[in-house]
Amino acid sequence: MTDAAELLGLTRKLLAAYPPATTDRADFLKARFDAGLAWVHFPEGLGGLGAPRSLQAVVDAELAAAGAPDNDPRRIGIGLGMAAPTILKYGSQEVKERFLRPLWTGEEVWCQLFSEPGAGSDLAALGTRAVRDEATGDWVVDGQKVWTSSAHVARWAILIARTDPDLPKHRGITYFVCDMTDPGVEVRPLRQITGEAEFNEVFLTGVRIPDAHRLGEVGEGWKVAQTTLNNERVAIGGMRLPREGGMIGPIARTWRERPELRTHDLHQRLLTLWVEAEVSRLAGERLRQQLVVGQPGPEGSAMKLAFARLNQEISGLEVELRGEEGLLYDDWTMRRPELVDFTGRDAGYRYLRSKGNSIEGGTTEVLLNIVAERVLGLPAEPRNDKDVAWKDLAR
């Protein structure tokens, strides 16, 4: 199946069998997945037809024109953008068939159990342990994760844990799918500078994971995690936005609607940031086109860097433009949102929320190293822990 006309025919056939106006949303999404029109480049039986990824736009445009429901990508972004490509590449056929359909339809939300209190920027230093139960073959996991978006609503998690402390830190890590309903999983809200608790701490105590839920080989989890991380940075830095659809939108509207706030200096700075935001938006589009012909590369790190810097500069300028009004804050009541919202609420929220952009999805310092070494080909930073067993590292 590689022909756009054939895909268009299948899409119209789906719409005829399941008219969006009279079909339950969940039923429509399930039917779309089963028809291979969820992600057309995936294999048949897994929501796709083995078609070129570029033809997804043909399906999406026809469904949008017919008013078909979407699968709420913002709510299930971690599953779609990070878990799904990793499961597709490293999961067994049974794992793919079990997880991909409810992941895509949004019946099951996913979170990512990677960062730890002592292993965020240096993720490979993680200390959460997974020990094999030789009697059952299960893995028993103990440890703590942090900065976990959506853990309070997630049914499943992608998890990396140390399975061999005698090896250097980038080895001896294994990658799993973790059941968030296991009695050993405890989720606690982590209140942020905005007052919201969008993130969580997750404590894992004797959590049992069947070996069938392991992705990749034992000890090869760092390699598997690179697939997740590369896709995560594309998902954050390369989000599809219309012109003025991101952080630049609210300040542009304020500028047009509030002429009394304007100054020459603010005008020049806003123009500069508007152009940079547009360049970043178009570069993100190019990055998505790159995905069409292969896997995401380290260039996604550069997009994520630009995203964080621009958001912080634009939100700072918006607060400055609004003057005393920009310093007001609407509500410090703790909320537990299901969505990651970078631009919602008021100028004060956007300013405070943007501070996290340079931490989440890889810190600025880590991403600069990736760009330097993997994109520009500069010499790697000296490392004195490369050949040292993880258990012998200073902490």
pLDDT (0 to 100) of residue 1:
53
**Rounded Cα gap, residues 203 and 142, in angstroms:** 8
Question: In angstroms, rounded to a whole number, what is the distance separating the alpha carbons of residues 244 and 267?
Answer: 16
Per-residue pLDDT at 79: 94
Tell me the domain boundaries of the chain: 4-70, 110-218, 225-376
Whole-prediction pTM value?
0.87
Question: What pLDDT was estimated at residue 36?
Answer: 97
For residues 206, 210, 213, 214, the Cα torsion angle rounded to the nearest 10 degrees is 80
**CB count in 10 Å sphere of residue 327:** 11
Active-site residue, from 62, 196, 198, 232: 232
Rounded Cα distance between 222 and 214, Å, is 13
| Tokens 């969505």 found at | 339
pLDDT of the residue at 289: 74
The amino acid at 342? F
Q: What is the pLDDT of residues 48-66, one digit of tens each?
A: 999 988 898 899 999 999 9
The Cα 339–Cα 352 span in angstroms is: 17
The span from the CA of 215 to the CA of 160, in Å, is: 10
User: In what helix (H) or strand (E) does residue 307 lie, and over which residues does it extend?
Assistant: helix 299-322
Q: Which two tokens stand for residue 295?
A: 């896997």
Q: Which CATH class name applies to 110-218?
A: mainly beta
Domain 225-376 has CATH 1.20.140.10: yes
C-alpha closest to that of 340 among 253, 235, 231: 235
- pLDDT in 10s for each residue of the chain, 395 residues: 568 999 999 999 999 999 999 999 999 999 999 999 999 999 999 999 999 888 988 999 999 999 999 988 888 989 998 999 999 999 999 999 999 999 999 999 999 999 999 887 789 999 999 999 999 999 999 999 999 999 999 999 999 999 999 999 999 999 999 999 999 999 999 999 999 998 999 999 999 999 999 999 999 999 999 989 877 766 665 667 889 988 999 999 999 999 999 999 999 999 999 999 999 998 888 877 776 666 556 677 788 888 899 999 999 999 999 999 988 898 888 989 887 778 888 999 999 999 989 888 778 888 898 889 888 899 988 888 878 999 998 87
Q: Give residue-wise pLDDT tens across range 348-388.
A: 999 999 998 988 877 888 889 888 988 889 998 888 887 89
Contact at 8 Å (CB) between 148 and 159? no
pLDDT of the residue at 119: 86
CA distance 227 to 240: 20
Tell me whether residue 318 is one of the annotated catalytic residues: no
* Element (DSSP H or E) covering residue 112: strand 110-113
Q: Which residues pair with 202 in a beta bridge?
A: 145, 187
- Greatest alpha-carbon span in the chain: 74
Beta bridge partners of 112: 158
What is the per-residue pLDDT for 279?
92
